[in-house]
Amino acid sequence: MTNFLLAGGGTAGHVNPLLAFAEIIKEENSKHEVFALGTEEGLEAKLVPEAGYPLLIVQRLPMPRRLNGYLFRFPALFRKSVKRVEQYIKQHSIDIVVGFGGYASAPAYRAARKAGIPYVIHEANALAGYANKVGARHAAAVAVSFTNTKLPRAELTGIPIRKSIVNLDRKSKRNEAAEYFNLDPNEKTLLVVGGSLGSKRINDTIEDSRTALLAAGIQVLHISGGRSELEPIREKGYLRISYCERMDLALAMASFAVARSGAATVAEFAAVGLPAVFVPYPVGNGEQRLNAVDMVEANAALVVADENFDSGYVLSSLIPLISNTKRIAEMSEKAKELGLRDGAERLLKLVNGVLKV
């Protein structure tokens, strides 16, 4: 029996891989103990307990970006968080830490090292975050999700994906999905994902283009995101919801997708063979554009800059693309060839190798 501490969280892109990995750990041996480390503010505060795992809390500490009072307080706050994680490690007899990035990972790596136990890093994005860049120096192993991720000693594992999606047969599930969402199983369906925070650009553009999409015979399943200001709508050929509890059925329903190119989104689309137009989040280090590189180079997806994704683009480019049945089928096959469905198993194999050393 092994006691695991899985550190990460913040957005669904960090939390879902963590939970998918927890699931495979328990599948391997139900006697393994899995604890998650996160913050009170992130999505892990809701999703981890719902999945049945204990959540251990640390303070949310963003890296200081400017010269101010927080910069001088940060070292003491960080040491306090490290001490808290050391206590968790001792209290729960943790054998290994696996970090998925985010605010909880940096203190977890430092605490593991001080406690004399190994830690493994999983980097979801093509461009590694600061915590994983620094932590990789002393990690027992480093796993990455994309071929263009630059970290020392990195091994390509892909992203741990939920079983409901790994085992998804889109074709056989389409009728069930159509009944669940009250959509037509015989119509082309555009899946729009605004992200957990709700992309204003994507949401507003699709709202502005609703009439044109429906006129072209394209029904829309629009998941706007929890912080979107748009109200839920259900009408013939168009469904807008803020959150989807059955993403497996949403993927089964979809013929094509529009979404941000978060690492987990890209990995899940590739795994099930869903072609897409990705609209990378324009703020940050540009990691979302890099996440989409492999799918774009494989001709399984397109990338459109945030400022260029408007109703004009939908009318001139997106609608003709979705209407091209042959091209959509070709893109779907390319995505499926690229997708890795066994990311959780690959990561567990890497972790088990560390435990046996």
**Same domain, yes or no: 125 and 54:** yes
Res. 114: pLDDT tops 90? yes
Distances (CA, A) of 282 to 87, 121, 131, 172, 286: 39, 26, 21, 36, 7
What is the full DSSP assignment across 180-198?
HHT--TTSEEEEEE-TTTT
- Residue 282 vs residue 203, higher pLDDT: 203
19-40 average pLDDT score: 95
Amino acid 228: pLDDT: 72
Q: In the chain, what percentage of residues exceed pLDDT 70? A: 97
Report the pLDDT value the prediction gives residue 64, as an integer from 0 to 100.
67
Specify whether 254 is located in the same domain as 268.
yes
Whether the CB-CB separation of 44 and 74 falls below 8 Å is answered with no
**In the β-sheet with 55-57, what is the strand arrangement from edge to edge?**
55-57, 33-38, 3-7, 96-99, 119-123, 141-144, 154-156
Q: pLDDT tens-digit profile of 73-104?
A: 777 888 999 999 999 999 999 999 999 988 89
Of all residues in the chain, the percent with pLDDT exceeding 90 is 76
Taking all residues of the chain, what is their mean pLDDT, rounded to a whole number?
92
Higher pLDDT among residues 56 and 76, named by residue: 56
Domains in the chain, number: 2
pLDDT digits 0-9 by tens, 308-349: 999 999 999 999 999 999 999 999 999 999 999 999 999 999
pLDDT of residue 196: 63
pLDDT recorded at residue 1:
87
Within 13 A of 57's CA, how many CA atoms are on the CB side?
9
Residue 234 belongs to domain with CATH number: 3.40.50.2000
Q: Are residues 91 and 121 in the same domain?
A: yes
Are residue 133 and residue 242 in the same domain, yes or no?
A: no
Least confidently predicted of 8-17, 25-34, 108-117, 333-342 = 8-17
pLDDT digits (tens, 9 = 90+) for 238-278: 999 988 989 999 999 999 999 999 999 999 999 999 999 99
Query: 170 and 141 in one domain?
Result: no
Give the range of the structural domain holding residue 113, as residue numbers without chain letter.
3-161+341-356
Residues 52 and 104 in one domain: yes
Residues 277 and 305 in one domain: yes
- Most distant CA pair in the chain, distance: 63
pLDDT number for residue 195? 72
Q: What is the pLDDT of residues 143-166, one digit of tens each?
A: 999 989 999 999 999 999 989 999
Q: What is the pLDDT of residue 198?
A: 58
Q: Is the CB of residue 298 less than 8 Å from the CB of residue 334?
A: yes
Shared-domain flag, residues 169 and 136 = no
